Amino acid sequence: MPNPPSSVKATRESLFTQLQSQVTGPNVLVCLGEPGPYQPDDIIAVGNVHRTTNPSHLVGSGGTGWLDETFQIQVLVEIYRGGDDEPGAFGRLCDVVDQVEAAVRADPSIGGLVLFAYPQQVSYESGWEADHKGRLATAVLSITFMAIQ
């Protein structure tokens, strides 16, 4: 019997679909990986994955149920506001981060793909964009997932 696949692929795609349907609004892009040439003011990118496994139960074949799989998916949120509207950019950033976290908390098993998921950590930054034409507020969320493989 073949070993079960990792939950990463299906979970990342499901998280992307979930965020696409729940974080909406004018000028919003939800994407897998880095965005392409279309750069709206609000970007949510479901990005990199960091995965670890540990033996869970002694299964002679090393097959199903042998490993605990834990992984973190990073979600990058970027909010741009033209001019010197730092409170507007940072405020919108906080609102979008809350929406991403609410989407995970509303379905912590991600449709039954994992045992549970939770937003583990968020880093916030705010400053001028490269050409100083507006404010750029960014957050990197780390969402942790636990599954048995």
- Give the separation between CA 140 and CA 15, rounded to whole angstroms: 15
- Dihedral, CA of residue 13, residue 16, residue 17 and residue 19, to nearest 10: 160
Strand partners, 73: 49, 143
- Give the separation between CA 94 and CA 59, rounded to whole angstroms: 45
Task: Please give the pLDDT value at position 26.
Answer: 84
User: Running DSSP on this structure, what letter comes out for residue 63?
Assistant: -
DSSP three-state, residue 8 = helix
Q: 8-143: which CATH topology? A: Alpha-Beta Plaits (3.30.70)
| pTM (two decimals) | 0.91
Residue ranges per domain, the chain? 8-143
pLDDT tens-place values along the chain, 149 residues long: 677 889 999 999 999 999 999 998 889 999 999 999 999 999 999 999 999 988 877 666 777 778 899 999 999 999 999 999 999 999 999 999 999 999 999 999 999 999 999 999 999 999 999 999 999 999 999 999 999 88
